[in-house]
Amino acid sequence: MFYREAGKLVGSFGKDRRMLPLLEDRWLAVLFVAFMYFVVTALASDYMFTAILIPIMVLGVATLGLNIAVGYTGQLSLGTAGFMCFGAFSAFNLILRIDWMTIPLAFFLSGMIAGGVGIIFGLPSLRIKGFYLIVSTLAAQFFAEWVFNAYPWFLNYTSSGVVSLPMHHYRVFPGQENTPFNAAFWHSSQGRYLVTLTVTILLVLACKNLVRSNTGRNWMAVRDMDIAAKVIGIPVAKTKLMAFFISTFYCGVAGAMYCYCYIGNLDFMIFNLRRSFLVMFMVIVGGLGSILGSFLGAIFVYAWPIVITRGSDFIFGGGAIDTAFIENNSKIVVGTIIIVLLIREPGGFAALWASSKQKLRVWPFAQ
Amino acid sequence: MNSPDNKKSILVLKDISLSFKGVKAITDISFNVYEGEICSVIGPNGAGKSSMLNVINGVYIPQEGTITFDGKEFTKMKPHSAAVMGIGRTFQNIALFSGMSVLDNIMSGRNLMMKANFWEHALNIGRAEKEELEHRQAVEEIIEFLGLQSIRKTPVASLAYGLQKRVELGRALAAKPKMLLLDEPMAGMTMEEKLDMSCFIQEINRNYGTTIVLIEHDMGVVMDISDHVVVLDYGKKIGDGAPDEVMNNQDVIDAYLGVSH
Ligand SMILES: Nc1ncnc2c1ncn2[C@@H]1O[C@H](COP(=O)(O)OP(=O)(O)O)[C@@H](O)[C@H]1O
Ligand SMILES: [Mg+2]
């Protein structure tokens, strides 16, 4: 009723292949982005930026990356945190060792380096499928954990194993690191939020472009029926490796952002197998093969425990109940919600979203 | 052989033998397909017809024999080079990309003609947008030809069987193939759908000069639309020629037509 395609005719193929074919959707997207840039930046609290918005976007980018491999191309991977680790260490070492290196360029190059690593660990996908591929991507995870531990050069010989990132690392232009504006910008959580938001939007747009192009169709063709893909001339091996490259590119940038925009230090212990599972979880809960779903999954899996903890603080008064107790219970609650969701809607939040849109479309005529 | 000498062979199969772990599926088969014809391959179930198509476009590698397409001889055909040379294909068990829409399935048939790289795709610059729109135009013509306009955005998995077969034909057609291999395109269809499908096949053949190699069980259809019929039984060729010649061949009558199935 309020929200429908009926009667909205497009006059050209160009208009028909727009990212958001519906006018309402386009307005919604513009408003949302404007809201994120202006309203949120002006009004949100430090806690909101650093503990909620930034990590959700960073994890959302990693989830999107994993979704490219798993959801769009059908290649299972459990190496996400390992690939993020490669991205984080690449960004750190590039900025540390190259004078003219800037944050945007370092983010991009760390994606490229992680992508290269992704291709190497994606090579077994040319011969093996499904669960066996998980083993090879797990190797990426363990390799990352091992290599950055075994070679302290990567950590610039920091004895503690955790490097805090000095302010002179944060430069958007070469030689700009000492300007007061720059320092103030990066010191503020707004600054880091704006950087994360911008990178995230750019990566989402690029992904949207990819999946509506020949590249995206090739990914999905390989996922759905690789023999038919081969027969119509799709280079299956190249398509898989490209998917691994782009997937790990996203994970690499997410890793770099994780350090530079979220926690402000570099520590390979963060990028452990648990985090790989967490991102996989986000993909499944959000919806395989959905960009929106990647972020919904990240929001849900990341934010629910916080909502529950804070909610119980609010209801029972902070400190009234043991925090460890609340934390464990929130895990049980989140786990239960996820199981119920996946039983009722195996397509995850993305499918839930699509079906509620469908209901809006036909309301009030049918269910 | 039986066909007029002035016709040029587009496909020459010579002494093809194929076995799976010692079990022979095809034994020593040779035949030619002539440019621009509709060639039907018939035979009972398990005769090796599908295997034959799989050999032609490189899905199966025969242990013996050569495949010559368009003057180039292969002992090992690869599916990719078959596609590049212009061999299109549909499958007996529909092999559509089930998570994609009708439009995307057919668009994917044109992937070999798209030259933009993934950077261009990601940024939607350079050749990306232009190519996409050009090929969309061509694909829309196919959609119109096959009467799929109203379902172009529908996910293929939700379509009826007959429509899925049609979409698969569209995907193969989108590549502008020189030769189309159709594995039982009318199996399991209603009379009406069969009629539509055989019209499409004949029109493709007539309008674009596409050579058709067709596996079909309905003898009425085969007699109606074929220029050339090849009969297989137990992996061996037992008949090859014009439809009426083949129908009068005693071996064929004994082995296939005479026996009620
Ligand atoms: N991939 C395969 N692996 C093992 N045997 C196969 C395979 N494909 C076909 N065959 C065997 O080859 C023979 C011919 O099969 P097929 O070509 O499908 O026959 P048709 O299409 O004429 O019904 C059958 O005996 C079948 O079991
Ligand atoms: Mg068959």
Above 50 in pLDDT, residue A235?
yes
- Which residues are CB-contacts of A309 (< 8 A; sequence separation ≥ 6)? A323, A326, A327, A330
pLDDT band at A136 (very low <50, low <70, confident <90, very high): confident
Question: Looking at the domain assignment, is residue A92 inside a domain?
Answer: yes
Both tokens of A14, joined, read 């160009």
| Arithmetic mean of pLDDT, A170-184 | 75
**Ligand 1 and B51: CB distance under 6 A:** yes
Return the ligand 1 atom nearest residue B47 CA.
22
Predicted confidence at residue A167, as pLDDT, reads 76
Record: contact A246-B118, CB cut-off 8 A? yes
Distance from residue B51's CA to the centre of ligand 1 (Å): 6
Q: How many residues does chain B have?
A: 261
Both tokens of B219, joined, read 């003898």
**Ligand 1 and B118: CB distance under 6 A:** no
Question: Looking at the domain assignment, is residue B92 inside a domain?
Answer: no
**Contact of A189 with A43, CB cutoff 8 Å:** no
Question: Looking at the domain assignment, is residue A34 inside a domain?
Answer: no
Above 80 in pLDDT, residue A358?
no
CATH number, position A211: 1.10.3470
Question: Looking at the domain assignment, is residue A278 inside a domain?
Answer: yes
Q: How far apart are CA B138 and CA B142, in angstroms?
A: 7
Range name among A6-15, A187-196, B207-216 with the lowest pLDDT average? A6-15
pTM score of the predicted model: 0.92
Expressed in angstroms, the distance from the first to the final Cα of chain A is 12
pLDDT band at A87 (very low <50, low <70, confident <90, very high): very high
Both B111 and B169 in a single domain?
yes
Above 50 in pLDDT, residue A288?
yes
Closest residue to atom 25 of ligand 1, CA basis: B46
Above 50 in pLDDT, residue A62?
yes
Both B81 and B197 in a single domain?
yes
**CA-wise closest residue to B132 among A205, A65, A19, A203:** A19
Q: How far apart are CA A258 and CA A278, in angstroms?
A: 15
Both B113 and B191 in a single domain?
no
Predicted confidence at residue B2, as pLDDT, reads 43
More reliable by pLDDT, A255 or A318: A255
Both B160 and B198 in a single domain?
no
**Ligand 1 and B54: CB distance under 6 A:** no
Both B227 and B107 in a single domain?
no
Minimal C-alpha gap between A112 and chain B (Å): 12
Residue-wise pLDDT tens digits, A195-214: 999 999 999 999 999 999 99
Question: Looking at the domain assignment, is residue B255 inside a domain?
Answer: yes
Q: Which of B154, B175, B196 is the endpoint of a domain?
A: B175
Using the Cβ of A206 and the Cβ atoms of chain B, whether some distance falls under 8 Å is answered with: yes
Both tokens of A195, joined, read 């950087």
Both B119 and B53 in a single domain?
no
Question: Looking at the domain assignment, is residue B91 inside a domain?
Answer: no
**Number of domains present in the structure of chain B:** 2
Among chain B residues, the shortest Cα distance to A202 is held by B123
Record: contact B95-A227, CB cut-off 8 A? yes
Above 70 in pLDDT, residue A3?
no
**Contact of A296 with A287, CB cutoff 8 Å:** yes
| Arithmetic mean of pLDDT, A232-261 | 97
Radius of gyration of chain B from Cα atoms?
19
Both B113 and B82 in a single domain?
no
Minimal C-alpha gap between B93 and chain A (Å): 11
Question: Looking at the domain assignment, is residue A96 inside a domain?
Answer: yes
CATH number, position B10: 3.40.50.300
3-state SS class at B189:
coil
Burial of A87 (0-12, 13-18, 19+ CB in 10 A): buried
Burial of A121 (0-12, 13-18, 19+ CB in 10 A): buried
3-state SS class at B14:
strand
**Ligand 1 and B61: CB distance under 6 A:** no
Closest residue to atom 11 of ligand 1, CA basis: B25
Helix (H) or strand (E) holding B233: strand B228-233
Q: Which of B175, B197, B217 is the endpoint of a domain?
A: B175
Return the ligand 1 atom nearest residue B21 CA.
4
Predicted confidence at residue B167, as pLDDT, reads 97
**Contact of B90 with B122, CB cutoff 8 Å:** no
Question: Looking at the domain assignment, is residue B42 inside a domain?
Answer: yes
Both B10 and B82 in a single domain?
yes
Distance from residue B56's CA to the centre of ligand 2 (Å): 14
**Contact of B208 with B36, CB cutoff 8 Å:** no
Question: Looking at the domain assignment, is residue A265 inside a domain?
Answer: yes
- Cis amide leading into B4 (omega within 30): no
Q: Which of B141, B175, B209 is the endpoint of a domain?
A: B175
**Ligand 1 and B25: CB distance under 6 A:** yes
Return the ligand 1 atom nearest residue B184 CA.
21
The counts of H helices and E strands in chain B are 10, 10
Q: How far apart are CA B228 and CA B41, in angstroms?
A: 9
Question: Looking at the domain assignment, is residue A127 inside a domain?
Answer: yes
Both B152 and B171 in a single domain?
yes
Both B182 and B254 in a single domain?
yes
Question: Looking at the domain assignment, is residue A3 inside a domain?
Answer: no
Average pLDDT, chain A: 89
pLDDT band at A320 (very low <50, low <70, confident <90, very high): low
Residue-wise pLDDT tens digits, A248-259: 999 999 999 999
Range name among A23-27, A174-178, B192-196 with the lowest pLDDT average? A174-178
Residue-wise pLDDT tens digits, B156-209: 999 999 999 999 999 999 999 999 999 999 998 889 999 999 999 999 999 999
Both B32 and B54 in a single domain?
yes
**Contact of B240 with B31, CB cutoff 8 Å:** yes
Give the residue numbers spanning the domain of A290. Answer: 44-362
Residues of chain B with pLDDT under 50: 1-3, 260-261
Which residues pair with residue B236 across a beta bridge? B233
Above 90 in pLDDT, residue A129?
no
- Across the interface, of B82, B96, B132, the residue whose CB is closest to A213 is B132
Question: Looking at the domain assignment, is residue B76 inside a domain?
Answer: yes
Distance from residue B232's CA to the centre of ligand 2 (Å): 12
Both B161 and B204 in a single domain?
no
**Ligand 1 and B43: CB distance under 6 A:** yes
Both tokens of A344, joined, read 């009722």
**Number of domains present in the structure of chain A:** 1
- Across the interface, of A14, A216, A228, the residue whose CB is closest to B133 is A14
**Contact of B60 with B54, CB cutoff 8 Å:** yes
Predicted confidence at residue B230, as pLDDT, reads 95
Q: What's at A281, amino acid-wise?
A: F
Residue-wise pLDDT tens digits, A306-317: 887 777 777 777
Question: Looking at the domain assignment, is residue A12 inside a domain?
Answer: no
Q: What is the DSSP letter of B101?
A: B
**Contact of A141 with A269, CB cutoff 8 Å:** no
Question: Looking at the domain assignment, is residue B190 inside a domain?
Answer: yes
C-alpha dist (Å) from residue B132 to A232, B88, B128: 17, 21, 6
3-state SS class at B148:
coil
Give the residue numbers spanning the domain of B238. Answer: 1-86+178-261
